[in-house]
Structure 1
């Protein structure tokens, strides 16, 4: 168990290495037993200090930009590229780095099909299945710009070898099963002409209670029916689900209109933007999130944004100035989305392993200054 008092400087993102290893072992076991392909999505987790461990488990990585493709190529033998739209001056470099390139539209494929090099080409199609409650994260929301609609794909263009769908977000095996069934219903007429099918991300196979038996049975059934199709998954969160925290320190306590706010050295808008975007109230070690109608303590961020706070929480003992607060499950979609709003420094990045803490990255004024010009 991580000892937050031994974190040398806050705020800090801290990877709990033992939990990380358990997730990799689970994913690696699934991949081996099912004969399917698990890729690693860089968009969900960018701590490349441990990409070596992930590359020993995943069969490749997925990238959505030239920068991600370059980073992935340093650690992974195969890079699968997908972007809603490709930058003309970056595409040739992406094609040189990638084994697979997926296009979001027929127009993009027509534009770049003669510049693929040795990369295999695929199309992203829309499975027309809403599985995500928050529209911001729903690729199948009405009017979605992501994926070709079934009525627009009357034939499979020459040169296309695979299809890609993505409609899940931290979802379970039932949602995966329903997705695969709907993809077969809408696009199964092309299954005889493709060699791979990528079901995208959102498969939270490492979450406690995930129905691994149903997941396995669904994959096995599909492979028996279509043995020539390589079934792929590209989770980001699953690799690092519940494997790390953000450690913060209380710097002040402000009382206003009868509401107590613990003022921290971290920021929701700069360091945990998903809390405000989704929005959601993150778990804090030793605290309980208040139910509707209950009053508690708010947690205030260090930026000047008026809405940089979340709450309400109930603590067994009211924290004091100087106490540490530990935000749970802060590895996925956190570091990759941080900003330097207000000039706030990024949190340190560290690893807790075998009872010892190692700082692997600290950020400086130069990081802030050189980000803009």
Structure 2
């Protein structure tokens, strides 16, 4: 049986990069890659054809920008530490502080070496999932307007504001109203404004012309400010799947689970954290309440017998389970048009952004390989993983 693999498709990646480069040129802004969503460094030569910089949130990401992307990073961290601030500065063109106390502690180590910024909190966000909302009450991100002095320290050159997650241009338009209302009195003291990530401009229904017009309007109001966007998901959105395989089918209380050779907690953690249901090729997600209701109402035979499923509800129902020992390592429920067999593929769409950077080796689970489907149709294996990779994490 074939091993699981993430496959990034070069043609789709380049399509996204072309659109992003178009927006940057038309709107006269800088759009940079956020490593927190995508950091497959063997693809960086392709990225360098379209963009010039990246954003980092840790020493390792800053080093990756400097060593592998070949350019200093725009760096933000919730908290810099004494032992890491110097090497981070060496790898950074811009460095944003999360708080005034962090600024006071370290700004003299940065001045003259990188452009200093301050993260601000507009106290407005339309992100519905609390886990991903950086402006939720009690947030640890950014400084609110009431805490800023009227005259900023002379070495603060920019504001960084991030409050989106896979958002549309209309959300940016509404958010800017709050950003400008709270912070534009400090704009004359600044050189740049970083509007963060979450601008999902490569999504099919995204209004790209409206985004360009919004950014042009921002330039007209504040022509001296350099505008920066740092999306992550937009770069790798819909650029490739995770291919898994059925290894077993088990059943309990009328619920059949297809166990796969991948893990949701190890290889698709966003599905459990967000949570959201990924698209599965050739299958339809079924509302879990409807599924359980059918089981509890005495129709469990419908789900136990493939013949009954076929005739009664026109499909074969399965919960998809990972291969770790975590009880909650499953996602479901799904309707297939055939009975799943051991060894067949189950393909999760759009599993490149965030997923590849958040994977772990919990339980020592075999890690999917990483491959690139080249423009000529050949599959290039970028990375394979084995026992030594797991063992070295325990060093």
TM range (shorter): over 0.9
Contact 2:288 2:332 in 1 (8 A): no
Deviation string, structure 1 residues 334-358 (Cα, Å, up to 9, x no partner)? 1111111111122100011232212
2:36 alignment partner, SS class: helix
2:62 aligned with 1:41, yes or no?
no
In 1, the alpha carbon distance for the partners of 2:197 and 2:7 equals 24
Which structure 2 residues correspond to residues 212-361 of structure 1 after superposition, within 5 A? 212-291=208-287, 293-295=289-291, 296-353=317-374, 354-361=376-383
The count of residues paired between Structure 1 and Structure 2 equals 366
In 2, the alpha carbon distance for the partners of 1:56 and 1:149 equals 38
In 1, the alpha carbon distance for the partners of 2:70 and 2:218 equals 27
In 2, the alpha carbon distance for the partners of 1:370 and 1:118 equals 35
In 2, the alpha carbon distance for the partners of 1:88 and 1:358 equals 41
- Within the candidate set 119, 144, 147, 1:149 is matched to 144
Root-mean-square deviation (Å): 1.2
In 1, the alpha carbon distance for the partners of 2:377 and 2:340 equals 25
Contact 1:252 1:263 in 2 (8 A): yes
Contact 2:190 2:225 in 1 (8 A): yes
In 1, the alpha carbon distance for the partners of 2:268 and 2:179 equals 34
In 1, the alpha carbon distance for the partners of 2:362 and 2:93 equals 36
Residue 113 of structure 2 is matched in structure 1 by 118
Q: Name the larger-Rg structure.
A: 2
1:177 alignment partner, SS class: helix
Contact 1:103 1:123 in 2 (8 A): yes
Q: Which runs of 5+ in 2 are unaligned?
A: 292-316
Contact 1:9 1:348 in 2 (8 A): no
In 2, the alpha carbon distance for the partners of 1:176 and 1:185 equals 14
In 2, the alpha carbon distance for the partners of 1:42 and 1:366 equals 25
2:94 aligned with 1:100, yes or no?
yes
In 1, the alpha carbon distance for the partners of 2:29 and 2:3 equals 41
- Pairwise CA distance, 1:118: 1.6
In 2, the alpha carbon distance for the partners of 1:300 and 1:202 equals 30
Contact 2:125 2:175 in 1 (8 A): no
- Pairwise CA distance, 1:149: 1.2
Q: Which runs of 5+ in 1 are unaligned?
A: 1-7
In 1, the alpha carbon distance for the partners of 2:373 and 2:250 equals 32
Deviation string, structure 1 residues 307-326 (Cα, Å, up to 9, x no partner)? 00000111111221110011
Contact 2:89 2:95 in 1 (8 A): yes
1:43 alignment partner, SS class: coil
In 1, the alpha carbon distance for the partners of 2:154 and 2:101 equals 14
